[in-house]
Chain A
Amino acid sequence: MATAVESALREALAGPAPGAAALGALRDGLAAAGGPAALGRRQRERFGALLRSLAAAAAEGPEEPAGPWRSCFVEGPPGLALSALLGALGEPPGAAPRAGRRLQPIVEVLERFVREGRLAALMWEVCQQQARGGPAELQDALLAGVVALPDRVSNSLRGRNPAVFFPQNYFPLLGAAIVEVLHEISASLRGGSDCSISFVSQVLGKVCVHGRQKEILSVLVPRLADLTKSDCIWQRICWRLVECVPERWMEAVVLGFVQRAPGADVLSRLLGNLVVKNKQAQFVVTQKFLLLQYGYTTAVLQNLLGYLSLDSLRRALLIKVLQELLETWSSSSAVKHSPAEQQEYISKAILICLSHLKEPEIESCRQELLTSMMEGVKCHLDSSLPQIRRLGMIVAESISSKINTDGPVLKFQYEEDDEARELKSLLVQAPSICAVPSLPDDNRNEKADAALPLTSESNGKSHTAATHVVSDEESDAELDSDDDLTPYDMSEDKELKKTKAPVYIRDCIEVLTGSEDTDKWEATVKALESLVRKNPAATREVSVELAKILLHLEEKTCIEGFAELRQRAQVAVLTVDPIPVAQYLTSQFYSLNYSLRQRMDILDVLVLAARELSFPKVHGKIKHVEKPCVQLLPGSDSSNDWRKIVDERIKSKTRRFAKGPSQVQVASGPNEFNSVAGHFFFPLLQNFDRPLSTFDLLGEDHFVLGRLVHTLAVLMYLAVNTVAVTAMGKALMEFVWALRFHTDSYVRQGLLSCISSVLLSVPAEHLLNNMTEELLETQSWLGDVVEKDPDGDCRRLALQNLLLLENLKKKLNKTVPS
């Protein structure tokens, strides 16, 4: 039989170009011999030479070879065929593209090669050769050829490649081919013969490291998950497949599996005890994904940690991982310097770990858990970012509830919002079906029945929700339709007071300092603000005394919104008599024996009063304008914003036909902040670096420092158009310069806001004349912050500042063309 092939080959190679008849004979002979596998070594060499000459003739010869030459590539040995085709496709390096090259036939043959499943045949061939110890260089070339095929084709055709060579089409095909090869391997293992899988692993690894995990694994993972469900040979094959991936590609493969697997149990079936056997995989799973990177979704974390928890060998790693996570979580340096997103990621990982731990395991490391918890909660609560504080509280609560099953547990007060609930839900073991997004289309069917309970449940939920909404609307419509009774004014409907509020400021002082009558005291606190505003002259006589009383006023009885009432009264006093009261308050900020709360109250009052003074007044009423700073007193008047939004929407949809200004002119008036800005500002700058026995701004009390810096930024912003602004800007720049390397990101944010305020408030000429050096230094610092700061907000603020600087430069260039 082989002789027929031999003679056909010899005949075909004899002439300059093989004739159609010779090729036909070769095909017949090959088919009769039972496929390319039957060829001997010499025959293979000859066949290779024939294919190369055919490919060269097709690409560069005067005309295409005659006869069924394309079929020779598809039916011949796949390794030889692919290398011959790739050789013809690629130009010799350095050669100028020749005009006469015909690439179309070559690409067509390649397309047939890929479509007719020759990739699987190719990989299977290499696997068999490897088992017998085939040449390594050829395998490497084939590996590169298979993985880079889309790129090669695209490069030769300058991008006009057929759809099958688009990565999103090619790699799923390759995935299917891998599954086919694995089937062959499984069959041969069952037949008792040995087989090497490493070429398939290499293909997989290389594809993954080229960033095509999504395409190839979207085919592979569901199929393998299905096949490994009950078959232990398939499980072994799958484990082997991953284990044989070369070290340098291991990370990409593991990451792909972790991201694609629909659940921890599937992942465990697919990877086996890879992390125990392979050092690289262990490093990637236990260190890199958890501690060094933080961009993955919660589902990935759940997969990963669930995988670790599913086998007794791996559970030891789980505990180790938890310890390492806790170490990071409780390290004050990590809390200070790592971005908030990473801290959230680590917290999530800790919570998921805790959910997997069993009673005896917790017992074994209870002491360590307790120690890390105490340390971690301390440095989290110390942080000035509310988000970090809350993370610390939630994690600490969770740890404490895990280690003290019977005793008292930690309980913090924090706002129970969606994020907190999501974090807490991680403590409950996730259901075995965990939905990984972006499941590929072609495996939706098999996924669908597994996920049936989940989807039906959610369907039901959304359904009920929908009907609920409908019924609500219906009832609304019904009620609105005939409820045409117009209401009377009900603004006078206020809470009934038992005692009358005092009418004179001096009475208020008496009540607030000495009275034991709580009703009267309450009424006074509630009435004070309006009294002060109504009687400015009377207030001025006692303003400092009143400010002192208010600063020390403590909640005697439980009044709703006491803090706000007191603050509004303080603001009223300060606006009515700014200079003495501001002097008093700023001097008290740096004096002994105040609580941090009181000091921060002082700052808030200064800001609010400055805001009120600097905005124009309309008929004695203060217009409520958007706050310049979002971080002070959040959420006190955001609920009224809907009115503004609605008005704006109406304005945008309304066409006005009248000419001229349709808007009423904004009322103008003297800026009352002008004459007093300095009294608000400079005393606050004076003593920040002098620690008192109870108050150390540069040390432990950095939260107050953060508030102080933010306050200064707002005051600076509000001082726009005042006389003192240039001096203030200069002083503030110096202040910022002294603190620019502060470790607390909240302080740094404040400093960056200060710079923004300076740039916005101080006139451009003054900036240039008086602060050139400072500006240049600041600019280089800002550049550093943009590149290196771990806090995202800081980076953003710094970038904004740079933009402001840039604008400033443009403005100057425009006015002074140099």
Chain B
Amino acid sequence: MAAPPPDPQFVLRGTSAAVHALHFSCGGQEPDVPILFSGSENGLINVWNLKTRRVDKALDGHGRKSVCWVETMDGKDRLLSQGRDQRICLWDLAEGRTSVMDSVFTESVGFCRCSLLKVAQGRWLMAMAAKALDEVQVLELPSKTSVCTLKPEAGAKLGMPMCLKLWQISCDSQPLLLSGYEDGSVVLWNLSMGKVLSQLFCHQEPVMSLDFDSEKAKGISGSSEKVLSIWSLNEQQNLQVHTTHRLVNAGISDITIRPDKKILATAGWDHRIRVFGWKKLKPLAVLDYHTATVHCVSFSDHKNPSERLLAAGSKDHRISIWSIYTQT
């Protein structure tokens, strides 16, 4: 008989709103404390101290509109956050400051989370949904210059972009963008030419989330259906479906592969977090703690593998923190 699934390591309460975004910043040396950023529906970004397990700061910069994405740029002092007020804010958190340094006004009204990729020291690319319904825009940060606008061919009828993932094979190669669309397809874009390299229909319903492993050239996507789709990218830059995995309940709101590419976690509409082995998509655990839809899952970036954590934010206002498969 397999062991019963573990309980959460601890639970963070007190956001008083549904949690939509999570991001760890635990890579710093002592005396830096490990930190978890969470963005919630009431527009606040909470900075959690994982030592004391309490909120250090609450950042209010999105006019009480829901925060759907948070990400740090080089350590915990610079934070990007995306809100439903159509703004992406760059926060300066160094030395206790809590001010918005800069902001970008996105004209998109969708739910599509941005994607950030560090391409060189002090230079980032950020992909975001653009004004036109089916467009994606890529900006260079911190200069905010537009690199390209990715527009599907006329008549492609992809619908809105639902999720984005910027990636590159190695530090000096061309960055590429994977985007999941409303019609259930995943598209690979070449940024420099602004062209579609490959398109794969892997879902019947909108793609809610995707993640990609550039080492194995393999990715996974989830939608509102009962199916997880695993696809791979071959040498000719063509996407093809590898396998699919059937779930017990429909609806996946977030998928994250752990940075060491061993396991992945999904956030389900059925209140459950599912953990799979990444190689074979072997189901490993079903973490049943939340009492409402789980919105986001995130893995920590601890230097020491045994300290690595998994966090999940849910509609039930709670953030559960799990320590699972840390010994591998």
Contact = CB atoms under 8 A, between A and B. Distances in A.
**A and B are partners in one complex rather than unrelated chains:** yes
Interface of A: 478-480, 482-490, 492-496
Contacts of A480: 280
Interface of B: 1-6, 248-249, 262-263, 270-272, 277, 279-280, 282-286, 288, 325, 328
A485 B277 contact: yes
Contacts of B3: 486, 488-489
B3 to A, nearest CB: 6
Indicate the member of A483, A488, A495 with the most B CB atoms within 10 Å. A488
A489 B4 CA distance: 5
A21 B283 CA distance: 100
A490 B277 contact: no
Given A493-B272, A496-B249, A484 B286 contact: no
A487 B283 contact: yes
A492 B5 CA distance: 10
Given A495-B248, A495-B249, A496-B249, A485 B325 contact: yes
Contact of B282 (A485, A493, A496): A485
B280 A496 contact: no
Nearest to A482: B279
B279 A488 contact: no
Given A485-B282, A486-B284, A488-B4, 20 more contacts: A478-B279, A479-B279, A483-B282, A484-B328, A485-B263, A485-B277, A485-B328, A486-B3, A487-B2, A487-B283, A487-B285, A488-B2, A488-B3, A489-B2, A489-B3, A490-B283, A492-B286, A493-B248, A493-B288, A496-B249
A737 to B, nearest CB: 54
Nearest to B328: A485
A480 B277 CA distance: 11
Nearest to B324: A488
A478 B218 CA distance: 16
Contacts, number: 57
Given A486-B2, A487-B283, A492 B288 contact: yes
Indicate the member of A478, A484, A493, A494 with the most B CB atoms within 10 Å. A493
A496 B272 CA distance: 10
Classify the secondary structure of A's interface with B: loop
Nearest to B325: A485
Nearest to B269: A496
Nearest to B286: A493
A579 B31 CA distance: 77
Nearest to B242: A475
24 contacts: A478-B279, A479-B279, A479-B280, A479-B282, A484-B328, A485-B284, A487-B284, A487-B285, A488-B2, A488-B3, A488-B4, A488-B5, A488-B6, A488-B285, A488-B286, A489-B3, A489-B4, A489-B5, A490-B5, A490-B285, A490-B286, A492-B5, A493-B288, A496-B271
Contacts of B283: 487, 490
A488 B288 contact: no
B13 to A, nearest CB: 23
Contacts of B284: 485-488
A486 B328 CA distance: 11
A479 B216 CA distance: 13
Contacts of B270: 496
A639 B196 CA distance: 46
5 tightest CB-CB pairs across the interface, nearest first? A479-B280, A489-B2, A488-B285, A488-B5, A493-B286
A799 to B, nearest CB: 47
B1 A489 contact: yes
Nearest to A478: B279
Contacts of A493: 248, 272, 286, 288
Nearest to B268: A496
Contacts of A485: 262-263, 277, 282, 284, 325, 328
